[in-house]
Amino acid sequence: MKLKRDKSQSKKYRIDEILQQKTFAEYKTLKKELPDALGITRQTFYLYLNATIDDGVEIPATKLFILSKYLGVEISELYNNEYFNKVADEKLNSST
């Protein structure tokens, strides 16, 4: 059984979206294991899951690497493309 929830385009990272593609048992297990694997608190993990494009939350590269290995995806797949577009637009506009 797969979990189905609305995909939020305002989230900076797709971690929860990727987790929701797992079976329910995998989803629950990973949500329990990942904070320990990352060396962070559950509160920080949930902050990462719910980080929006406009807030200042950034996941360190080493933690993104661990997440990508646990979830079986490339690091770039953890990011919401809307976030990449916003960053690129800001960089282009600031250099003109």
- Tens digits of per-residue pLDDT, 20-75? 999 999 999 999 999 999 999 999 999 999 999 888 899 999 999 999 999 999 99
CB 39 within 8 A of CB 49: no
Name the phi and psi angles at 79, rounded to 5. -90, 145
Give dist(CA 50, CA 45) in Å, integer.
9
Residue 22 located in a structural domain: yes
Among 59, 56, 53, 60, CA closest to 82: 53
Residue 25 located in a structural domain: yes
Question: How many structural domains is the chain composed of?
Answer: 1
Query: How confident is the model at residue 96, as a pLDDT?
Result: 60
CB 77 within 8 A of CB 68: yes
Bridge partners (DSSP) listed for residue 52: 11
Residue 89 located in a structural domain: yes
Residue 2 located in a structural domain: no
Q: Kindly report the CA angle at 70 between 69 and 71, in degrees rounded to 5?
A: 95
Query: How confident is the model at residue 16, as a pLDDT?
Result: 94
CB 63 within 8 A of CB 92: no
Bridge partners (DSSP) listed for residue 2: 23
The boundaries of the domain holding residue 34 are 15-94
